[in-house]
Structure 1
């Protein structure tokens, strides 16, 4: 099992040995065991609170092995409406502390039957998709390379 403990600044000269495809939730786990697509066991032991981003490169303590994080497409609701309805939906989702990706023309969140009903009741349109999901880190979220 390979144990990755540090993040590296993205550098195209770094020889990446492996790629690890993770969903948005998985990219927020600082201590977790994963299996790569080629059946290699990987353990992340990163500083608590580390949020991994697409393209991040991790290394082990000896800086002998490098793995690149790839944002994995996942099922999401993409919510579409005019600006005021999107703002209203963002307000209600924020009150529920739901991870949301915010863009000028849409909101994106993980599928949930109760939230689906609330969003439809507010008059917004939901498109079910399988895409990469990049929720906001929040006011206290961080992404630091150590």
Structure 2
């Protein structure tokens, strides 16, 4: 079994293995999975960082494992009206939803309640299957996980609606 304990900071180099994971699995620091080629791999990473598309991990045997975002069920909103799209992003962020942001498009993990909210804003929501690469967020950079609760930070800032 391949074992990975550390990130390689250079994301541009070669790799020997590819591990395709959904967003939920990329938030875990301990994981047992199989590479695209079928090799078993164990992740034993420091907590507090979400694996991202293109991240490279050093394996104990000296090989390099690259992370790929696996296709998963997503909701997608496409809109040329920047005010409507900004309003939708604001309300999604207010609910701490992991959100992938593009110029005229928002993507998030399927949720019928969120879908209904956005339809209520006059937006069309469609279901797709695609890799999910959400924004890291203001409280979550490479040092902090999107899966880390931000509530204590937000309470200090006077923003408590848990």
Alignment-derived partner of residue 95 in structure 2: 96
- Conservation of the 8 A alpha-carbon contact between 2:100 and 2:134: yes
> Structure 1 length as normaliser, TM-score?
0.86
Matches within 5 A, 1:45-64: 45-60=44-59, 62=60, 64=62
Q: CA deviation at 1:55?
A: 1.8
Q: Structure 1: which 5+ runs fail to align? A: none
Q: CA deviation at 1:44?
A: 1.0
Q: Which has the higher contact order (CA 8 A, sep 6+)?
A: 1
Q: Structure 2: which 5+ runs fail to align? A: 144-162
How many pairs were matched up? 141
**Out of 51, 64, 68, which is 1:66 matched to?**
64
- Conservation of the 8 A alpha-carbon contact between 1:79 and 1:127: yes
The separation in 1 between residues aligned to 2:127 and 2:27, in whole angstroms, is 23
RMSD between aligned residues:
1.8
Q: CA deviation at 1:63?
A: 5.4
The separation in 2 between residues aligned to 1:17 and 1:137, in whole angstroms, is 26
Q: CA deviation at 1:87?
A: 1.4
